[in-house]
Amino acid sequence: MPPTREPTPNNPVKEPDPRTPQREPPGRQPPEEEPPQRNPPEIEPPLPPDITPPGIHDPPPPGQPGGMPTIIASDSGTKAP
């Protein structure tokens, strides 16, 4: 690979213009400019393990239908004599 680019008809070598300020090459940030900080997506915190949704162990609040009926485990009538 030659150290200097040869001018071609489609891609001539351009001399840097002293009137324009030199910019950093693409992919590098100038040291005085910090890249914009992206906020992480809002993540809902998980429920604490000691909180149980209503209707699993507790009766539903008054005025709200729903909830699992309380089933008492009993052996009466389930076993053959």
Q: Quick one: pLDDT at residue 43? A: 66
Per residue in 68-80, pLDDT tens?
566 666 666 665 5
* Token duo for residue 43: 């993540």
Residue 40 CA: distances (Å) to CA of 26, 35, 37, 48: 25, 15, 9, 22
Q: Quick one: pLDDT at residue 3? A: 54
pTM (2 d.p.):
0.12
Per residue in 37-60, pLDDT tens?
666 666 666 666 665 555 555 565
